[in-house]
Chains A and B, each alone.
Chain A
Amino acid sequence: MADPILEVKNLHVHFETHDGTAEVINGIDFSIDRGETAALVGETGCGKSVTVKSIMGLLPSATIPEGEIRYKGEDVLSLSDAERHSRRGKEMSMIMQDPMTSLNPVLTVGEQMMDVLKWQGRPRLSLSKLVRDALSTGAKAEHRKRAIEMLGEVEISAPERVFESYPVELSGGMRQRVLIAIALLSEPDLLIADEPGTALDVTTEAKVLDLLDELVEERDTSVLYITHDLGVAREVSDRINVMYAGEIVEQAPTVDLFANPQHPYTRGLLESIPTLSTGIGDGIEGHLPDYTNPPAGCRFADRCPHAEAACHEAYPYPRRTGPDHATACHLFDGLPARERHESLAADPVDIGTAPWLAGGGDAPGDISADGGTDQ
């Protein structure tokens, strides 16, 4: 982890609601290396979108009482709105979840693409720039050329026609390609893709994901994927962060996570996914806790088949369970993954070891045997 492009440290995000303060994100830590593709996986309401929107600075109504978001070493939370604006769309950009609603229906695809190039992260255009733009057709023609080129790169077969089209004239798959083209227009270093395939059919989704994969590979862009689908995460990412109720409960390299899932939530999720060979599990009973009155201990304890009384009391700080594997569960022993939890680690909660490991060996040993990646 020599040179992370994005580091999120102990991030807390709160919302004021009629029922009190909702503690939606409760101290999450993760980082993305340059050129790496990381995934944030979790179910509806677990805080994935809130997390990325706080990274982009798109949550005016939220308060961030604690935490750091470092982009290329710089704490973006301490920047002014104008400074953050100048990084959005230029340094980091985002592909929104729903291709049906995230394009402006009254502007053509071309107009929306030209806007990105015209503003280039500037909060406002200076008068002289406006005059210059109005007088010269050169810049405009160049932008047009660049936009059409980009549409070609996302494998749209008739880029000129699509450039002149309104979003309603395009299919879902085409609109998603347009969104990808817009996000990549300014050659960002960090791309956040919020469920880029969810609204599409399987064959289209597979195609869009392959395409995105190719484009970011060429540009060496770092990508943060948001998805609820572990299957998709497995295909696209190098590292996976599993989120539950505003906390990251497990993080590991993708291969490692699937070879050796540890957190009971990750395991429950994996078992619930219908597979071709092994069938469908029982699912996870219960539902997310109330964010305005979250449990003091483990937020998953109410739904966890292995929970003991202590789980409801003591916060399960993430601990190192392998060379590059962290799990936030009392079933596992290990040094705390973050320094700030050392005082908690001094007083460990003993609820035994994971039942599925009871028979053979300890977990950390298993991981290295499975070829835990080098750091």
Chain B
Amino acid sequence: MSTFTFKIVTPERVVFESAVQKATLPTNTGEITVLPQHIPLVSRVIPGEIRITDAQNTEYLLSVSGGFVQVHPGKIVILADTAEMSHELSEERAHDAHERAKKILESKAGMTDRDVASMQVLVDKEMARLKVARKHKERGIRGGLLK
């Protein structure tokens, strides 16, 4: 199985770097899936989930809150504002944070357009985290039953 290098970095750390077969990520023109031999591409990443399948056919989930992606020949680099692996997320915490962000956005009291926009980004980001955390949980249960 041919693979390519996948790397996702945030200002805090290198979140994940490995050889993968396939990567699916949300961009502002829709979700794209990158396979080996993809043409060179540059695009913006929007808040959402990233799914990658590594050489051992293990699938990983990540949540991402926006950034940029550059596809080189044989390599994909994502510069994310923040990103977490699914096992680093807790569903409850993501849920609470999402609710909190939504509430602040709804009240909108004394906020400029800019604040509202940045809150909207926050809501999207927490939403992405929540989604990834839920998925991870479901898979965890299924995986457990199979054993």
Q: Are A and B interaction partners?
A: no
Which residues of B line the A interface, CB within 8 A? Answer: none
| Residue ranges of A at the interface with B (Cβ–Cβ < 8 Å) | none
